[in-house]
Structure 1
Amino acid sequence: MKIKRIALIGLGAMGVFFAPRLYEAFGENFYIIAGGERKKRLESRGVTINGVNYRFPIVTPEEQGEPADLILIGVKGYGFAQAIEDIRHQVGEHTLILSLLNGVDSEEQLIQAFGEEHVLYAYMRMSIVMKDGKADFDPYWGKIHFGENKNDVLSDRVLAVKEVFDHADIPYEIDPDMLKGLWFKYMCNIGENMTCALLGIPFGFFRISDSANWIRDNAMREVAAIAQKKGIDIGEKEIAEQDVTVMTIPPENKPSTLQDLEAEKLTEVEMFAGNVIKMGKELGVPTPINEMFYHGIRVLEEKFTKR
């Protein structure tokens, strides 16, 4: 299997991690899927990444040309359902799809929409601040994790995507157990993304505040308890590992939910705390900290949506 044409939908904090390097490596065979006002904005203003303004090739969702071999989905959670519809004309017989979303159920939604033969598992470990169409970041701080559900032996599909990332100099890791990796990332997102958003603090606060870390750790424990009920083995060992990792994140960086609130945009709180609450009720796991996150962040949204 050889990947030659690559599409990206969503040119935000996750998308900009890939776009410059894929464009440099694949030229006009790399393109953005965008329509309407977003297409006009990208054509007129472009996007500035590490001081360089890019005007990437754009294909609208309605265009029916040659399908992509690989599609990366980097939209926000609340835009995912629309993204599924927007990529339909780009999905061919052999197209592979990677979801870069933060939750734990986007792959299942893609499988329902296109079939499991088109979907690989993926998640991001990175922190990028994007504001007003500009992003400055170390392109080697962070990576994409991807693969089949299990990767004891690498499939042809995984090897094909690996070749793309090698060619484009994109950092990656192929997890032996992708579901465990997805849930670990989700647990960390709940702990860090939600805590920072509710309290209005950057990552650096975890270096100095025991109280912030208490909230973060106990929020992660709620997710770990749900994961254990689902047969996914994450717990205190993984929380302790993340206690170390979070100290290495640039202290001025802010997670996506806090960035959204500061920009007076709606957040992905439904996909984060809202989904934890839903799964907790289904499985009999108490989630009081995530309930606090959910309602507290909704109030912060209401400060600009209801004024």
Structure 2
Amino acid sequence: MKHIEKISLIGLGAMGVFFAPRLYETYGENFRVIANGERKERLENKGVTVNGINYKFPIITPDVMGDEADLIIIGVKGYSLEQAIEDIRNQVGKNTLILSLLNGVDSEERLIKEFGNEHVLYSFMRMSVVMKDGKADFDPYWGKIHFGEKENHEYTDRVLAVKEVFDKADIPYSIEKDMLKGIWFKYMCNIGENMTCALLGIPFGAFRTDDNANWIRINAMREVAAIAGKKGIDLGEKEIEAQNKTVVTIPEKNKPSTLQDLEAGKKTEIDMFAGNVVKMGKELNVPTPINEMFYHGIRVLENK
């Protein structure tokens, strides 16, 4: 079985900090963060603070050659994927594996097109981390990474190698039998929760008590489920009901990424979220009125 010794992470935001402290504590200098320019300077000088501990992780710049990683974890925003692809290029060697933590449903295909199927595993995150001004406080065991081949009835050597990493670093994970369904389920939940919270300016706790917020959330999810069905992916009321039970367990004050971005005056991932739902709906003749509202409403909030 392949053993992973050298790990690189690009993107040290809410998703990246879920991994970085534990990977650094386990792999030491063999864990590196890819960064350059102003971001490199900021991480070297100020670091990031996770659960009260300030970390200054080892940095490797994108131009370094001959120091390929065994595993690359991509935790950037969706609109930064193209730049991330260029920034990891010198880190990809003959046996490098790549995990993309991005929201959305197409990052694996884009990475496969660029680097080849032999380098890419499928993955998605189910977690809620609020990060502000380089600081994050969260329960490191609330949430997990889901990963694997497209189908995982038996574990391949690639999957076992990554499993070994997460076991060593005490990072919660799940290996799904059907990764495409898992990715689309996560996307459906993100559309319902992320977009509703962003448009209305509410935290996750609103879904515990507000029937109106839940009406918007659930019907937005149904639009995604209808699109998934057209693509042969089995999502529907059973999965929506399962998420109804999960969403009320998310810490009440936590806010999803798009609302965090709006409040910080940052660019959002609206194109990848509601924008892509509307686009796919038009291609497949599936009505998406709630996602059209999300798209245009959140664009107004960005402009505001």
Q: Secondary structure at the match of 2:66?
A: coil
Q: Distance in 1 between matches of 2:5 and 2:162?
A: 10
- Deviations along 1:142-169, one digit per CA (max 9) or x if unpaired, are 0000000000000000000000000000
- In structure 2, what is the equivalent of residue 79 of structure 1? 80
Give runs of aligned pairs for residues 122-201 of structure 1, distance below 5 A: 122-201=123-202
Give runs of aligned pairs for residues 241-260 of structure 1, distance below 5 A: 241-260=242-261
- In structure 2, what is the equivalent of residue 18 of structure 1? 19
Give runs of aligned pairs for residues 95-114 of structure 1, distance below 5 A: 95-114=96-115
Name segments (4+ residues, structure 1) moved above 3 Å. Answer: none
In the TM superposition, what is the alpha-carbon distance from 1:66 to its structure 2 partner? 1.7
Q: Distance in 1 between matches of 2:56 and 2:65?
A: 22
- In structure 2, what is the equivalent of residue 50 of structure 1? 51
In the TM superposition, what is the alpha-carbon distance from 1:96 to its structure 2 partner? 0.2
Please give the TM-score of this superposition, normalised by the length of structure 1.
Answer: 0.98
Q: Distance in 1 between matches of 2:66 and 2:295?
A: 42
- In structure 2, what is the equivalent of residue 65 of structure 1? 66
Aligned AA (1:43): E
Count of residue pairs brought into register by the alignment: 303
Q: Distance in 2 between matches of 1:266 and 1:215?
A: 23
Aligned AA (1:42): L
Q: Secondary structure at the match of 1:41?
A: helix
Aligned AA (2:136): A
- In structure 2, what is the equivalent of residue 301 of structure 1? 302
Q: Distance in 1 between matches of 2:280 and 2:63?
A: 36
Q: Percent identity?
A: 78
Q: Distance in 2 between matches of 1:218 and 1:95?
A: 40
Q: Distance in 2 between matches of 1:115 and 1:77?
A: 20
Q: Secondary structure at the match of 1:138?
A: coil
Aligned AA (2:252): P
Q: Distance in 1 between matches of 2:36 and 2:219?
A: 42
Q: Distance in 2 between matches of 1:158 and 1:35?
A: 30
- In structure 2, what is the equivalent of residue 91 of structure 1? 92
Structure 2: which 5+ runs fail to align? none
Q: Secondary structure at the match of 2:73?
A: strand
- Deviations along 1:216-260, one digit per CA (max 9) or x if unpaired, are 000000000000000000100000000010000000000000000
- Deviations along 1:9-45, one digit per CA (max 9) or x if unpaired, are 0000000000000000000000000011000000110
Q: Distance in 1 between matches of 2:194 and 2:162?
A: 29
Q: Does 1:232 align with 2:230?
A: no
Q: Distance in 2 between matches of 1:276 and 1:23?
A: 37
In the TM superposition, what is the alpha-carbon distance from 1:65 to its structure 2 partner? 2.8
Q: Secondary structure at the match of 1:248?
A: coil
Please give the TM-score of this superposition, normalised by the length of structure 2.
Answer: 0.99
Q: Distance in 1 between matches of 2:38 and 2:256?
A: 26
Structure 1: which 5+ runs fail to align? none
Q: Secondary structure at the match of 1:12?
A: coil
Q: Does 1:8 align with 2:14?
A: no
Q: Distance in 2 between matches of 1:171 and 1:65?
A: 31
Q: Distance in 1 between matches of 2:47 and 2:250?
A: 28
Aligned AA (2:173): Y
In the TM superposition, what is the alpha-carbon distance from 1:8 to its structure 2 partner? 0.2
Q: Distance in 2 between matches of 1:157 and 1:43?
A: 32
Q: Secondary structure at the match of 1:201?
A: coil
Q: Distance in 2 between matches of 1:134 and 1:106?
A: 27
What is the Cα-based RMSD across aligned positions, in Å?
A: 0.4
Q: Distance in 2 between matches of 1:81 and 1:286?
A: 30
Q: Distance in 1 between matches of 2:116 and 2:6?
A: 20
Q: Distance in 1 between matches of 2:67 and 2:132?
A: 33
Q: Secondary structure at the match of 2:98?
A: strand
